[in-house]
């Protein structure tokens, strides 16, 4: 029996008989996973990670998720000190809104599996972000506490009256790839064409974008294209589902799509699409503009500063875990499970993309982004946002 299995068995034998469990995390099911050599993570992804209360399990990498009665939690001799998030040892469940199949989910999944969130007194419920509305609108519509959005969408939401703010960074630049159907005769940097040639080749074409037409990411692309003399593109929303994006190209509904990791790698390895330009290697705006971050309403942030800080700290620990070469196999396994990336080379490539991620938000870069967005007409001149208006800090 492995250390991991022995740890789970030891733990299951120590759980009080009076403990109450959700149906998905029945104690007998957990014991069966030991006998069948299956990870309890399969059965118990959505509940309270017991690593917060049984440190020995965390040492073995065991995540056993279950819900105990308040009395049982309160009296456990093995529980760690009360979390920073709540100060009572209780766990707060936060609804986190995200698009499915996106790489930005991976640090959060690791933070969950490794117990970093539980250490902060946090459990999460994942909510799918609606594709027919902006991030701030979706946050309100789904009654979620936290979302992750492009800078443009967050700030435009703030200007529209949604009192939202970033409280934790994610990607400090705009990461998007233009892709076409295999065999396309459009210019491509892979064929030796310049990035300017690629942009010029989009004249008169139809481009599928991941977010709603009129969203920040659409307006940025349209503005950049216009700056380089291309202003006759038709835009349609294809969403983020790789199957839908591939079908849009295959049927000729669009000539080009925008794709982000891991969709980019998935479409390329399945030969459903081929990249023609990685935009951060093209127009300088895609490197200069601040990309995306974790956001919430300022009302919630002001009322829950320790939860917000604990969430961001857990994400940061997740990023460090990804970047540690010793964890490469674990990360690849999560990429396969969460994002369907089973190709070894693709998994390695996607993992490397996290080297650019950071929870820090540079004031100068962000302020420059706000100013440039205003100059481009992406943001209104009034009310003029400042860094402090739209980036929340706990101090």
pLDDT digits (tens, 9 = 90+) for 255-307: 999 998 878 877 888 899 999 999 999 999 999 999 999 999 999 999 999 99
Residue 122, pLDDT above cutoff 90: yes
Band (345; pLDDT cuts 50, 70, 90)? confident
Residue 209, pLDDT above cutoff 90: yes
More confident position, 352 or 54: 352
d(CA 307, CA 121): 8
42: burial class by Cβ within 10 Å (0-12, 13-18, 19+)?
exposed
d(CA 393, CA 395): 6
Residue 80, pLDDT above cutoff 90: no
Q: pLDDT tens-digit profile of 158-194?
A: 999 999 999 999 999 998 999 999 999 999 999 999 9
Closest CA to 106 of 270, 328, 257, 303: 328
329: burial class by Cβ within 10 Å (0-12, 13-18, 19+)?
exposed
> Cα angle vertex 374, ends 369, 380, to 5°?
130
pLDDT number for residue 11: 35
Reported pTM:
0.69
Least confident of 117-126, 195-204, 372-381: 372-381
Average pLDDT, the chain: 79
d(CA 3, CA 14): 16
Q: Is the dihedral of CA 302, 306, 309, 315 positive or negative?
A: negative
Who contacts 13 (Cβ-Cβ below 8 Å, separation ≥6)?
none
Closest CA to 148 of 156, 138, 158: 138
| Domains of the chain in sequence order | 1-80 (no CATH), 87-173+289-395 (3.40.190.10), 177-284 (3.40.190.10)
pLDDT number for residue 167: 98
In sequence order, what are the beta bridge partners of 164? 297
């Amino acid at each position: 029996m492995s250390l991991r299995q022995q740890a789970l068995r030891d733990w299951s034998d120590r759980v009080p008989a009076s403990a109450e469990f959700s149906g998905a995390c029945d104690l007998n099911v957990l014991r069966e996973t030991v006998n069948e050599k299956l990870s309890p993570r399969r059965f118990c992804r959505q509940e309270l990670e017991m690593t917060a209360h049984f440190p020995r399990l965390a040492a073995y990498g065991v995540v056993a998720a279950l819900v105990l009665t308040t009395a049982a939690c309160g009296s456990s001799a093995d529980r760690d000190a009360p979390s920073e998030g709540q100060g009572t040892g209780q766990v707060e469940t936060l609804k986190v809104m995200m698009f499915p199949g996106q790489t930005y989910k991976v640090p959060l999944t690791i933070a969950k599996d490794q117990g970093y969130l539980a250490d902060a007194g946090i459990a999460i419920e994942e909510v799918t972000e609606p594709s027919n509305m902006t991030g701030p609108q979706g946050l309100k519509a789904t009654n979620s506490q936290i979302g992750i959005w492009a800078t443009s969408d967050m700030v435009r939401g703030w200007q529209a009256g949604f009192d939202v703010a970033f409280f934790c960074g994610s990607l400090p630049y705009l990461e998007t790839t233009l892709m076409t159907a295999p065999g396309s005769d459009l210019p491509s940097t892979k064929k030796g064409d310049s990035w300017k040639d690629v942009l010029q080749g989009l004249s008169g074409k139809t481009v599928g974008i991941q977010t709603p037409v009129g969203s920040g990411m659409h307006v940025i692309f349209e503005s950049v294209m216009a700056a380089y003399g291309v202003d006759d593109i038709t835009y349609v929303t294809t969403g983020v589902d790789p199957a839908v994006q591939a079908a849009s190209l295959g049927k000729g509904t669009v000539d080009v799509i925008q794709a982000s990791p891991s969709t980019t790698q998935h479409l390329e390895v399945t030969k459903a699409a081929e990249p023609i330009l990685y935009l951060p290697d093209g127009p300088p705006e895609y490197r200069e503009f601040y990309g995306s971050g974790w956001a919430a309403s300022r009302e919630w942030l002001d009322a829950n500063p320790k939860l917000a800080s604990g969430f961001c700290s857990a994400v940061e620990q997740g990023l460090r875990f990804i970047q540690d070469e010793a964890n490469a196999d674990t990360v690849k396994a999560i990429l396969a499970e969460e994002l369907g990336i089973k190709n070894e080379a693709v998994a390695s490539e996607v993992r490397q993309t996290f080297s650019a991620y950071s929870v820090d938000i540079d004031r100068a870069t962000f302020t420059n982004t706000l100013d440039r967005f205003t100059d481009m007409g992406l943001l209104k001149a009034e009310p003029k946002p400042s860094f402090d208006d739209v980036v929340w800090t706990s101090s």
